[in-house]
Amino acid sequence: MALGDLMASRFSQSSAAVSNHLDECSSHDNGDFGAHRRDSETLSSSYGNVGTSATTSMAYLPQTVVLSELRHDAFESCMPSGPSDSGLVSRWRPKDRMKTGCVALVLCLNIGVDPPDVIKISPCARMECWIDPFSLSTKALETIGKTLTMQYERWQPRARYKIQLDPTVEEVKKLCNSCRKYAKSERVLFHYNGHGVPKPTANGEIWLFNKSYTQYIPLPISDLDSWLKTPSIYVFDCSAAGMIVNSFIEECNASSSTTSSRDCILLAACEAHETLPQSSEFPADVFTSCLTTPIKMALRWFCMRSLLRDSLDYALIDKIPGDQTKRRTLLGELNWIFTAVTDTIAWNVLPHGLFQRLFRQDLLVASLFRNFLLAERIMRSANCSPVSYPLLPPTHQHHMWDAWDMAAEICLSQLPLLVRDPNAEYQPIPFFTEQLTAFEVWLDHGSEHKKPPEQLPIVLQVLLSQCHRFRALVLLGRFLDMGPWAVDLALSVGIFPYVLKLLQTTNPELRQILVFIWTKILALDKSCQVDLVKDGGHTYFIRFLDSMEAYPEQRAMAAFVLAVIVDGHRRGQEACLEAGLVHVCLRHLQGSALNDAQTEPLFLQWLCLCLGKLWEDFMEAQIIAFQADAPSICMPLLSEPQPEVRASAVFALGTLLDVGFDSCRDGGVDEECDDDEKFKAEISVLKSLLYVVSDGSPLVRAEVAVALARFAFGHNKYLKSIAAAYWKPQSSSLSSFPSFAHVKATAANPSQYIGPLLRVGTDTPAVSRDIRVSTSSPLSASGIMHGSPLSDESSQHSYSGNLHDSHSTSNGVISNNHSRHRAPLDNALYSQCVLAMCTLAKDPSPRIANLGRRVLSIIGIEQVVAKPIKSSRPGEPNFVGLARSSSWFDMSGGHLPLTFRTPPVSPPRTTGFLTGMRRVCSLEFRPHVPSSPDSGLADPLLGAVGSSERSFLPQSTIYNWSCGRFSKPLLNVPDDIEEILARREEREKFALYHISECQHTSVRKLSNQPSWDTKFDTATKTALLHPFSPLVIAADENERIRVWNYEEANLLNSFDNHDFPDKGISKLCLVNELDDSLLLAASCDGNIRIWKDYTRTGKEKLVTAFSSIQGHRPGVRSVNAVVDWQQQSGYLYASGEISSIMVWDLEKEQHVNSISSSSDCSISALSASQVHGGQFAAGFVDGSVRLFDIRTPEMLVRTMRPHAPKVERVVEINFQPGLDQGKIVSACQAGDIQFLDIRNEKGAYVSIDAHRGSLTALAVHRHAPVIASGSAKHLIKVLSLEGEPLGSIRYYPTFMAQKIGSVSCLTFHPYRVLLAAGFADGCVSIYADGNSQAR
């Protein structure tokens, strides 16, 4: 099975294993509310006949899981890094590729004369370079020298070889100097054979001859080193060669303090106290033979020790058919196996840094060290220990030598037949097949924490063979998928040049797996982009991306590879642009829009990211993109259900925003910028971005903020004018600065739309007095963006304003005097951009709010101290009239006590952006600089004048974040999936058991005494009991959330929902309560924040945050949001002082519908059914109750007025326990509780006047037939579903009695009869059923 197919199947399996769609029966209609996509039940056509059956008990266990994707893993607390091009990941690259350019061969044999310090045995080893010098009558020394040269040339044929036979010191010096001169900075090899001279001295001197060969002349190693310099490698084949190595090391240690480290390598035949083997079974130069003719030496040595020694003629070893360079021949396969074995031994024994230096930096050095491992094995059998510098650990007993011996035996056993019959076909040695199997076994059982697979170098060698290549690539892909550590190991072993060369192949079978492997490599190390472009590898991936045969997930990987190639790499951008990448990506984006069935979110995501990176800061690509109508192709993706796709589309569009304005920023003439087509395209891009400024996903909003920052940078002067005109003081020394005159508004009364937006607060009266709000403000136009924080009706007048007048002759920004520098875009659109920036600056997500404030600081609006700063120097302008009170910032009910100010702005000049920024700095308008490196933002906004433009802008995170997906395993199901499923199953059993117990157990009364209580510093706003742990979660007026264990009576965690609380938290809910639950905290201003790890002290993490309410009614100061969460459908319902109910899909993190409330009154209570997905009830301030079902076409099911004739606010509304979807309990502030059945048109079937004008809270048990109500008069009543009283909890003036305060909130445990109550005095108490033992 191809890894491509394997990847697709396992990739989809792993996605399905953790998918949010656990309900197999759910459909996938993303937009039609008439057929709800997640509900597991069939909606009855009529609400008149609904029964409850025991077989539907699983309806109580919602299968939808939301907010569990990769993007929710601590978005706020960490900054994605993306592929790296420096540091740890680049260690695999050899620092400097080297080549041995010159080889000096020095042979001191003095044939016929034995050295005085050597006593030879008889018979004695005589062979030098496999030649017996006494068998040749003449020129034996020259023949040996030529043979040695030929043996070395096989390893490095391009080097220059120079030889000296029985030389003098002067001849060696001349040889060394000429070699260094020729080699220049390349390595020089010095080979010394001292078999005809005495052993080296203890001082590290080797022996040469005088001219008359009557004396031995010593040559210190220090002199030799000074002639050859570095880099160099020495081979000493003589007895006591270790003496030289020891002397060299001592010299290096002595001079290490004064000289830099020298790149010198030494190979010596034996230790300082050892003599070379003299046995006739070895050649005299056994060390040299191992280094230069390893196959011959290894086979002869093995043959002497195997069962073949009596039956095999050694002469046949010289007749092995084939060529060492051709792997399909016997000799070539043997050499290939030997290379794999020695590489594997070195890889598993040496430190990786040393392995890189010795086995990957220089081809000749690598060959010599491979052969040195053989020399150690053979010579140790003769009681000699070869020595090296750097020192290598012993390898002669490594078990991989057994695999080599087996291969040698298979070769030698068929050698006689092959020699007799040249036409006989040899049987391939099964070495590589067996080693791949061993590697596969490791993949099945290995991990990061176990010993790395020792076969990794063999897999690299197997890539050279066509017959094994595909299997090796598949196994390599599986290994790389295990994590970045595996990719680093593979790169360290030398895999990179092999997979780079494979991109030149045309074999279609390898395409999918090669794309997968390159995805894994580039997810770790971005620096490979240079190599790919240099070798033309980008065209391989463009062709794959454009092919229709591959799975969309695989083509997404090709898009990822191309995105990395063009990321910040101009040569890569140019090459991919020339290859037509823009048109390829756009064509597939268009195709996905036409064929929704084949749309793969990951593919769409990476097409957008690839395009964005391709034309980012690359004008030529941007021009081609506009010509190809790229914006209109990308815009539909802004409504895709996946936040990753939406964010990527925003990124792609945002990188187009600064097109055509470089010359404007630099003070160029108007003609260079006046390209109407580009302006139109930019307007459409900008409007589409404003559409998603209030998206439900922080991932998307972060990209919108970055895009608006780019826009603000390109249009800085005009946006500054808009901002300054808005804050223009009524009378001050700055009154001469421009304002917007001659405003034309198409709306009859535009001020009705800006009432809630421009109201003046009382927090800073000194500032407020200087604020003048007039209809000439650019923000007073009716051209307000869709989804802006205004009243709902404002969206009907979107983009209808026309703020600039070409004939303005006053002090306006746009006048005939400055016609050459007119604003490129409509001023109404600039106003909307400022609004959008302000919306982002008060975002409930701290990271987005930080980004928003940085965007505002680009246009001169910045955070300052709460009180206005008065000028302390004469002549400086007074900023009292420019500082704005915090109420301006309170545009959608979120009270953020920050004060902002803008600089006075003069008419636009041609001095460029940087001059303007310098002027702002001189007026002490300091930008907000992030206080921590984890803020996810770029460098400080206003840097030095000479800093690059890029440093001014906050940086996008979607690309780096998306890259992280490919560095994680894609082929395997997560290790913890079984644990997750087991925990889920256990909780389902627990829930079903206790649901049954609640349904069949009669509740007699609740204990008047609390089983547990604690106290806040301020009033308790809301509380929640955890379904599976003895935990109570409560929040106070200051939005301080505390988590207690009520069995052990200890506080587990305490944290602030956010830094600027207003009116407290209106609702706490558990999301995914059957799995790893998340805590949803809904603030009264409509902001939603969802937390994970909320029970761990100081470890809580914000998963996501968004504003669920967009604007509110005119004249209403606060939103007073009411929110409820429905796990069955995955929907969040939110409303308040608005005329509609907002429906948010938390799986998509998207606003999916606005349902009209069908009332002029605001909604005061909201409750979603926990067993019928899509159904919810709303209570209104006029006492009316409405039931909605988004699965029905009309959505509104029934309207009732159960509390008439009273017109009092509905305090709480809830569904009765059970599967009956028509029974509701409603309680109003007047104190009456109504039990409703929508099938009963006469109204409530039970009505109770419980508290007489003071009801403050109501709770209905999810499964038990019990409700509880609380009042401001320190009283809690417990009732049955028939309205029968089951008891009351009040303050009894008796000894040791529990005093309770005014009740502020009530909540039941989902599966047990426990009641948690919060009080206005800050107390939180838990009351147990009288049937159970109070803890």
Tens of pLDDT, residues 861-875: 875 433 333 333 344
- Enter the tokens of residue 469: 């290549």
Phi then psi for residue 80, to 5 deg, are -65, 140
Q: Say if residues 231 and 102 touch (Cβ distance below 8 Å).
A: no
Helices 511-524 and 484-493 pack at an angle, to 10 degrees, of: 100
In this prediction, residue 560 has a pLDDT band, given cuts at 50, 70 and 90, of very high
Distances from the Cα of 310 to the Cαs of 208, 304, 305, 306, 418, in angstroms? 42, 9, 10, 9, 19
- Count Cβ atoms below 10 Å from residue 1330 Cβ, excluding itself: 16
Beta bridge partners of 107: 165, 193
- Pairing state of beta strands 160-165 and 100-107? parallel
The secondary structure element, H or E, covering residue 11 is helix 3-17
**pLDDT greater at residue 649 or residue 1208:** 649
If one counts every other C-beta atom within 10 angstroms of the C-beta of residue 1046, the result is 23
Q: Residue 545 pLDDT more than 90?
A: yes
Q: What is the pLDDT of residues 421-451, one digit of tens each?
A: 888 887 889 999 999 999 999 999 988 899 9
* Torsion angle of the four alpha carbons 951, 953, 954, 959, in this order, in degrees rounded to the nearest 10: -90
Write the single-letter amino acid at 648.
Answer: S
- 1102 or 464: which carries more pLDDT confidence? 1102
DSSP-derived secondary structure letter, 448: T
Angstrom distance (rounded) from CA 815 to CA 829: 18
Report the half-sphere exposure of 784 (CA within 13 A, side-chain side). 27
Q: Which amino acid is at 90?
A: S
Name the nearest CA neighbour of 743 among 776, 768, 716, 709: 776
The pLDDT assigned to 82 comes to 67
Query: Rounded distance, CA 141 to CA 896, Å?
Result: 93
Judge contact between 1190 and 1209, C-beta under 8 A.
no
E-strand ranges in 1239-1298 read 1246-1249, 1255-1260, 1266-1271, 1275-1280, 1285-1290
CA distance readout (Å), 1249 to 331, 942, 1245: 101, 64, 14
Nearest to 696 by CA among 1110, 983, 406: 1110
Q: Which of these, 348, 353, 385, 346, lies nearest to 368 by C-alpha position?
A: 346
Cα separation, 205 vs 203, in Å, equals 6
Distances (CA, A) of 780 to 511, 757, 791, 801: 58, 9, 13, 9
CB atoms within 10 A of CB 1040: 19
Alpha helices by DSSP H, 508-547: 511-524, 528-534, 538-546
d(CA 316, CA 581) in angstroms, rounded, equals: 59
pLDDT score, position 873: 39
Q: What's the chain's average pLDDT?
A: 78
The amino acid at residue 811 is N
User: Which is more confidently placed, 669 or 129?
Assistant: 129
Strand ranges across the sheet with 1150-1156: 1122-1126, 1131-1135, 1140-1145, 1150-1156
Distance, CA of 1089 to chain centre? 22
In 3D, which of 142, 166, 275 has the Cα closest to residue 215?
A: 166
Gap between the Cα atoms of 151 and 294, Å rounded? 10
**Among the ranges 902-906, 924-928, 1126-1130, which has the highest mean pLDDT value?**
1126-1130
904 contact partners, CB below 8 Å, separation of at least 6: 724, 734, 737, 877, 882, 923
How, if at all, do strands 160-165 and 1266-1271 pair?
Answer: unpaired
Phi, psi of 343 (to 5 degrees): -60, -40
Residue pLDDT, tens place only, 1188-1200: 999 999 999 999 9
Query: Residue 1024 CB: number of other CB atoms within 10 A?
Result: 24
Model pLDDT, residue 1168:
93
Asked if residue 353 has pLDDT above 50, the reply is yes
Q: What pLDDT, on a 0 to 100 scale, did the predictor assign at position 245?
A: 94
Q: Is the pLDDT of residue 481 over 90?
A: yes
**Token pair belonging to 439:** 């590697």
Omega before residue 123 within 30° of 0, cis: yes
To 10 degrees, what angle do helices 552-566 and 511-524 make?
Answer: 40
Coil, helix or strand for 698? helix
Instruction: Show contacts of 16-19: CB within 8 Å, 24+ apart.
Output: 17/973, 17/974, 17/977, 18/68, 18/974, 18/977, 18/980, 19/65
Residue 1180: what pLDDT? 93
pLDDT band at 94; cut points 50, 70, 90? low
Please report, for residues 216, 642, 662, 916, 1057, the alpha-carbon distance to residue 219 in angstroms, rounded to integers and kept in the order given: 10, 76, 69, 74, 80
Helices 552-566 and 570-578 sit at what angle, rounded to 10 degrees? 130
The two tokens of residue 153 are 């040339």
Three-class SS state of 1143 = strand
Which DSSP string do the residues of 763-794 spell out, in sequence order?
A: SSHHHHTTB---TTSGGGSS---TT-SS-GGG
C-alpha 650/C-alpha 702 separation (Å) is: 9
Question: Strand pairing partners for 106?
Answer: 164, 192
Contact status, residue 379 vs residue 385, Cβ threshold 8 Å: yes
State percent of the chain over pLDDT 70: 76
Segment 1090-1094 mean pLDDT: 94
Question: Taking Cα atoms as reference points, which of 996, 1074, 1261 lies closest to residue 62?
Answer: 1074
pLDDT tens track for 931-951: 333 333 333 333 332 344 556
Q: Which helix (H) or strand (E) holds 980?
A: helix 977-1000
Give the lowest-confidence range in 136-140, 886-890, 1068-1072: 886-890
Q: Range with the lowest mean pLDDT among 551-555, 666-670, 1226-1230?
A: 666-670
Q: Is the pLDDT of residue 5 over 90?
A: no
pLDDT confidence band for 79 (50 / 70 / 90) = low
E strands along 263-368, which residues? 264-268
Task: Give pLDDT tens digits for 774-786.
Answer: 333 333 333 333 3
| 738 or 87, higher pLDDT | 87
pLDDT at position 595 = 64
Using one digit for the tens of pLDDT, what is the confidence trace for 208-260? Answer: 999 988 899 999 999 999 999 989 999 999 999 999 999 998 888 777 644 44
> Checking DSSP bridges between strand 1050-1056 and strand 1040-1045, what pairing results, if any?
antiparallel
How far is it, in rounded angstroms, from Cα 1282 to Cα 1259?
A: 15
Rounded to 10°, the helix 570-578/538-546 angle is: 50
CA-to-CA distance for 418 and 316, rounded, in angstroms? Answer: 10
